[in-house]
Structure formats: C-alpha cells, structure tokens
Amino acid sequence: MATVRLALAQMDAVVGDLEANVASITRARRQAQVLGADLVVTPELALMGYPPEDLLLKEGFVEACQVALEALATSDGLPPVLVGTAVPEGAYGVALEPSSDARDVARVPGFEQRAHVANVLAALDERGVVAVSAKRYLPNYDVFDERRYFHSGVGAGAVVNVRGVAVGLLVCEDVWLDDGPALDLVRAGATALVVANASPFARRRQDDREEMLRARARETGCPIAYVNLTGGQDELVFDGQSVVVDARGDVVARAGAFREEILVAQVEARESSAGVVVMTTSRGESPTHLLNRVEPRLTEIEEVYQALVTGTRDYLRKNGFTEALVAVSGGIDSSLVATIAVDAVGARSVRGIALPSRYSSEGSVTDAVDLAERLDIELTTLPIGPAHAALSTLVADALGEEPPGLTDENLQSRVRGVVMMAISNSTGAIVLTTGNKSELAVGFFTIYGDSAGGFAVIKDVSKVTVYELARFRNERARELGDPEPIPASVLDKPPSAELRPGQLDVQSLPPYEVLDPLLELYVDEDATAEEMIALGHDPALVRRIVRLVDHAEYKRRQTPPGVRISRKAFGRDRRMPITNAFRPEEP
C-alpha cells in the first residue's frame, strides 16, 4: 500500500473575483506546503466562484479564467494543485459531448463564435496544466442550471499519479451515480478518488453526502476525498464540511462547517503506476495532530443558524455593505433577524429602528428597547402615528371615504417601509427584512411594506423554526455565560402584526404548529391537496392554504433574495408561474 497526503482547500470563493480567488488558492498551497501535503484540492469552479451563472456567457470571462489558471503554474516549489474552473472545448485536450444534453451556445445571438465550455478539475504543477477532467453529468434540478452553460465531458476522466497513488479526478455530480464516472476511473487504473464540489447547504444534506460516499467507496474499493465550498453567494450558502472516507467508507477526516480551512488527510491506497502524468511533489513534515482531524458534526438547528449567519455576513461583505438596518418591532422575527445580523457583522454595524404605531403594545416597545440593550446595538425610535394619519387622510381623499380596515393596516406597514428605505438611501446601509417562510407562503405580509428591503434573512425559515432558532441562540448564550439576546417576553407572547387593536396571527391563520406542516408538504414536498387530505389533514383547511399559497406568488416574486436553508426555497428551487389557472385541488 502507498500513502498520499491530501490538502483539501475548503475555501470561500468570490464569484467573478479571479484575482482574489487566485490569491486564496495560492495561500492554500503555501499552507499545504507547511503542512507537508503532496497535493492540494480545491472545490468546484473555485477559480471563478459558484455559481457563475450568465458570467459564463460574457465575452472574455472564460478566457480570463484560463489566463488566471495558467498563472497558478508559477508555484515557487509549492505542491501541485487541482483547480476547479471552466475551459473551452479543445483547451488542454478537453473533448465534449454534442449539445444533446446542453444548451447550444452557438444559437444565442452575440455568441455565434463561442466555443462550448466544460466544468473541469485541472491538475497543475510547476510545468503548468498537466491533466484535465471534465464533468460528465450536469445537474439541472433544484438550484442547479448547468445545462444552460456547460457541455458534458467524454471519456473516463483524468488520473494523475502522486507518490505511487493513482488519483482519479471527479467533479461533484459525477460521484453520485452508481456504476458511473467513479467506477470508470477505477477501471482506468485509479486507486484513490478526489471530488471537487460546490454543494449548497440544505437541512440534512451532509447526511446524504456521507451516506453516498460510503456507498461509492465500497463500490470502487477506493478512498475518496470530497472537498466542498464554504461561504455565501446570493441566496445560496455553502457549508464546507469537506470529508475523506477510506476504502471501507468510514470517515477518516472531516473539516468544520461554514468556515475556510485546510483539511490535511493522509490516505492509504493501493500502489499503482497508472496515471497520465506523474505529478512532482516534495513532501515535508506535517504536525501529526493536524492529520486526519475529524471535526464533530453540528446539530441540525446549529447548522441552520450558522447558515443564516454565514449567508447574511457574506451577502453584506461581498456586496460592499458595511451597515445593516433592522426594523425592530419587539416581535420574534425582527428579534431573531437582529441577533443574526449582530452575529454576522458585529453590533457596531447593526442599527435598530423602532417604528411603533398607536396599535403597538407597551410590551412590544419595551421589548424592542430590551433587545437592543442585550445586543448592544444603536436603537432609534420613530413613532409613525403622524405619518400614518397623514397618509390615511390622503387615501381617504382619493377614495372618497375612509380606507377599509385591511388597507389601513397595510398603510402602517408601508409607512415603515418608506422610512426604512429612506434611511437606507441616506446612509448606504442595507435593510434586512424580517418576514419568515410561513408568512411569505400564504401572503401574510405587505408588499412594499414589511417586504421592502435588500436582503431577507429568514425568508426560507418557517415560523416554528424561528422559535427554535431563537431558543437555540439563547441557550448558546447561557452556555457561554453571556446575556440571552432575545428577551423571554418576546418568546412567550403570541405572534401579532399589531396593526389593529387586539390583533393576533391566529385570527387570520391556523396556529403555526398546524400551518407549517401543511406548508412543508405543499411547498417543500410538492404534495397535492388530495395527498395532504389523505394524511388526515382537514380538507377545508388544506384547500384554503393551497389557495393562499398559489395566490401569493406575485407578491413573493417581488421580495428580496434571502438565505436558502431548505431543500425547496421560494425562488431558485420553486419556480411557479404567476399567471396560473391550474387548480387541481378544486372540485
């Protein structure tokens, strides 16, 4: 048996920032050199960031990526590296399938002369690019849209030889198939496999990954190193949790979640002379306590919380926002969003704005003040009564009568939205909206009111999970000996928008403990009304909720992006037409 020491560079790539990504890869190689690694492995499309989307159609982008790739060859004695990137057909001998399973870019106006593009893992040492493995299976489901941009590779893929171990190169989806590219590489002589990934976070996703890797290792008889991106990109969050399994499928190394790091794993594999090229490497000594470290898994609720913090932090940081605004009402949603924002960017970068109306309870006003003190954030209180009265009068003049009740309720929310956006315009701070997935699903929010803002932190978080996250964060504070950020009174009070006297959410919606399971079935699992009724749910309630979800599509389409934490979020995952007359649930 031979051994190879792999350094999995779990990095936070920035889409389109080639210079920064080259610097990150180079820094990872330097760290790997200190740690005595033989080969560095980067995530899928690490050189350009994932997903690059229509940047791949921009004139000169793929070419600029190729120039950046070549620049990594000047290694100064650094260990060889496997780089995730995209290259045009024909570059480095890359051969692609015809356009049967991919959009033919040649038919797009303005791109008649463009070559087809491959999603690849390229092997480099001091000689330059010595081997390239092109992704064969292009996912086109959930958040993935790769057939719009890429063509499939042909052949078994590349095998490189490092210290007598024949290492087969895979890209993401290719490792998921039984009797697929992984086994093809073994038939070509590979005795170990590495796979570069850009696998977004979703609840329980890591369980799926490790179960698949166990199955693939047993099928191939090879150890497998799986490196994943970390960090946030628009709605997506990448959790890292890169992992290495041995030939039996047992986890022998695992990186942490939601952080950049170099995971060094010494892998034992059958010795082989296979490989299109022998990669030159000079192994140094590695601190033994850093080899094959297995980071414990987070609990599911801790994973979700860290995903929200990471997604919020990176959306602000990567888009140049230095301050966040939160409309703090004294309710559970705004309290959680403010807490996440502080954990993401720090208390000095978060400002709370309290906008009480004449219907706001005294308890809500004091809870907002209490929250701000616990989080140590600046709080500005701006009563909206005068503005609401003036706007109500204006609307009454337009209608010839007093605005109806719901219209008047929405006016309050829209006054708040106008004030928040005015402060944002004047300061450059981004407004974080506070609506949750349950409310967005049934349209229980005011368009151009509480939905106004730049980033929707808990857009994909059900109301029940909002409470779970708040309790988790308070419990974590207690464990650390810190003040609980969210007042107990916020957790204990019944949910209310406080837009009319005595208003409670349960007056308009079923209890969230009843509503959220129905929404999960209909939205996340695509169950029909009949299937939900067959499970024992009240038929009238099911049909009402289904109608509310379908009718609110036009409102959801106009909400800001937000962190995806479920397997089916509104937007990227669930793409329903706004104009839609199909009503299978109606008799």
- Complete DSSP assignment for 193-217: EEEEE--B--TTHHHHHHHHHHHHH
Element (H, E) at 266: strand 261-269
Q: What is the pLDDT of residue 155?
A: 86
Rounded distance, CA 27 to CA 497, Å?
49
Q: Encoding tokens for residue 161?
A: 């030889």
Sign of CA dihedral 251, 254, 257, 260: negative
The reply to whether 347 and 256 lie within a common domain is no
- Name 70's Cβ contacts closer than 8 Å, sequence gap at least 6: 128, 129
The rounded mean pLDDT for the chain is: 90
Q: What is the pLDDT of residue 312?
A: 98
**Structural domain includes residue 87:** yes
Q: How confident is the model at residue 113 (pLDDT cuts 50, 70, 90)?
A: very low
The reply to whether 340 and 449 lie within a common domain is yes
The reply to whether 270 and 392 lie within a common domain is no
The reply to whether 196 and 127 lie within a common domain is yes
Confirm if 123 and 80 have CB atoms less than 8 A apart: yes
What's the first-to-final CA gap in the chain, in angstroms?
67
The reply to whether 326 and 465 lie within a common domain is yes
The reply to whether 268 and 382 lie within a common domain is no
CATH of the domain at 8: 3.60.110.10
Q: What is the pLDDT of residue 234?
A: 93
Of residues 94 and 520, the one with the higher pLDDT is 520
Q: What is the pLDDT of residue 531?
A: 94
pLDDT, tens only, 133-170 = 999 999 888 888 888 889 998 888 899 999 989 999 99
**Structural domain includes residue 550:** no
Question: Quick one: average pLDDT of 433-459?
Answer: 94
Catalytic residue among 65, 146, 172, 463: 172
pLDDT, tens only, 293-327 = 999 999 999 999 999 999 999 999 999 999 999 99
- Tell me which of 17-21, 112-116, 330-334, 447-451 is least confident: 112-116
The reply to whether 251 and 209 lie within a common domain is yes
Confirm if 13 and 55 have CB atoms less than 8 A apart: no
Catalytic residue among 135, 318, 459, 463: 135
The reply to whether 268 and 340 lie within a common domain is no
Q: Which domain holds residue 56?
A: 2-281
Give the CA count within 13 Å in the CB-facing half-sphere of 32.
33
The reply to whether 155 and 71 lie within a common domain is yes
**Structural domain includes residue 291:** no
Q: What is the pLDDT of residue 101?
A: 43
Helix (H, G, I), strand (E, B) or coil at 232: strand
Q: Encoding tokens for residue 330?
A: 């004294």
Of residues 570 and 250, the one with the higher pLDDT is 250
- Tell me which of 44-53, 493-502, 541-550, 555-564 is least confident: 493-502
The reply to whether 260 and 338 lie within a common domain is no
User: In the chain, pLDDT over 70 holds for what percent of residues?
Assistant: 93
Q: What is the pLDDT of residue 114?
A: 59
Rounded distance, CA 205 to CA 582, Å?
32
**Structural domain includes residue 457:** yes
Q: What is the pLDDT of residue 110?
A: 47
Clarify whether 222 is annotated catalytic. Answer: no
Confirm if 223 and 245 have CB atoms less than 8 A apart: yes
- Name 101's Cβ contacts closer than 8 Å, sequence gap at least 6: 138, 147, 151, 152
- For the cut 90, the answer to whether the pLDDT of residue 583 exceeds it is no
253: β partners: 244
**Structural domain includes residue 38:** yes
pLDDT, tens only, 531-573 = 999 999 999 999 999 999 999 999 999 999 999 999 888 888 7
Q: What is the pLDDT of residue 93?
A: 82
**Structural domain includes residue 54:** yes
**CA-closest candidate to residue 65, choices 85, 91, 42, 90:** 85
- Give residue 402's identity as a one-letter amino acid code: E
Q: What is the pLDDT of residue 112?
A: 45
User: In the chain, pLDDT over 90 holds for what percent of residues?
Assistant: 72
Rounded distance, CA 455 to CA 434, Å?
9
**Structural domain includes residue 399:** yes
Rounded distance, CA 198 to CA 45, Å?
8
Confirm if 72 and 124 have CB atoms less than 8 A apart: yes
Looking at 260, 281, 302, the residue that finishes a domain is 281
* Total number of domains in the chain: 2
Clarify whether 44 is annotated catalytic. Answer: yes
Q: How confident is the model at residue 202 (pLDDT cuts 50, 70, 90)?
A: very high
CATH of the domain at 361: 3.40.50.620
- For the cut 50, the answer to whether the pLDDT of residue 526 exceeds it is yes
Q: What is the pLDDT of residue 581?
A: 77
* Maximum alpha-carbon separation in the chain: 87
Distances, alpha carbon 317 to alpha carbons 46, 211, 309, 345, 413, in Å: 18, 34, 12, 8, 28
Q: Encoding tokens for residue 17?
A: 């920032």
Looking at 230, 264, 281, the residue that finishes a domain is 281
The reply to whether 45 and 145 lie within a common domain is yes
The reply to whether 211 and 321 lie within a common domain is no
Question: Quick one: average pLDDT of 453-463?
Answer: 96
Rounded distance, CA 54 to CA 463, Å?
34
pLDDT, tens only, 63-81 = 999 999 998 987 678 899 9
Helix (H, G, I), strand (E, B) or coil at 227: strand
Rounded distance, CA 303 to CA 241, Å?
11
Clarify whether 437 is annotated catalytic. Answer: no
pLDDT, tens only, 114-137 = 579 999 999 998 888 999 999 999
Q: What is the pLDDT of residue 94?
A: 84
Looking at 227, 262, 281, the residue that finishes a domain is 281
Question: Quick one: average pLDDT of 397-402?
Answer: 87
**Structural domain includes residue 556:** no
Confirm if 97 and 152 have CB atoms less than 8 A apart: yes
Question: What pTM was estimated for this model as a whole?
Answer: 0.93
